[in-house]
Amino acid sequence: MGTGLVIGMSVAMILIGSLFLYLLLKGKKAGQPRDQLEIIGAGLSGLLVISAIALMIMATKSSDSRSAALDERPPVIEDITLEVPASNFSFTGLHDDKEYDLSEFKGDVVLINFWATWCVPCLTEIPDLNRLQEKYRDQGLVIVSISDEDKDLLLAFEKQLPMVTSKMRFPELIDLPSPFTGALEIRPSSFIIDRDGMVRRYLLGARSYDFFERAIRPFL
């Protein structure tokens, strides 16, 4: 039974119990004797109110416990080995507003990283991706960082946390082709594409510099 329903029932029980108490005590003067039926009714009404309050407290604590458990869940991490063609799609350069196609990068090893400024795990990856790009640029590694956020927001963010990767954005909503479908739903998500344009790894969740380095080396 849902917490909201339990709390709603508890409130109703409190109101009913309080109403019965009011009706039983209404018109009775202090010290005026009460018959046995009234005493039993008052006791049951009071018990109903107390039980409802206890039920509400337990439901609230149970809800808090479930929320805490959800907060403590480990981050979503997947690592899937693939060997499928990288379907082409377009994106726009953050600084030059030029439209690029993924196919233009064929011949390089491409690491596409889908990220967002609101995604805390994404932000932890940025320094490592910067370092990776600087180290392996001359060996043909191109890291493409793509966000679907507003251009002005991304430019303002970059002033706070500079990025040396190829910064791209989607100026409007886009349906990504397979195997990139859903990449914007859970972030960060990354794809490693070899020089022949084949997607070789799908990485869901934040990764360290060492992990990324081990992942790209076989394709350089």
- pLDDT tens-digit profile of 49-75? 677 677 667 766 555 555 444 445 556
- pLDDT tens for residues 96-115? 999 999 999 999 999 999 99
Q: Which of 32-36, 42-46, 99-103, 115-119 has the lowest mean pLDDT?
A: 32-36
Sequence-distant (6+) residues with CB within 8 A of 163 are 126, 129, 130, 145
For the entire predicted model, the pTM comes to 0.67
Contact 97, 177 (CB under 8 A): no
Sequence-distant (6+) residues with CB within 8 A of 27 are none
Measured CA to CA, the distance from residue 77 to residue 146 in angstroms comes to 19
pLDDT value for 51: 73
| Phi, psi angle pair for 72, to nearest 5° | -90, 0
Contact 209, 215 (CB under 8 A): no
What is the percent of the chain where pLDDT is above 70? 69
DSSP annotation of 146 reads E
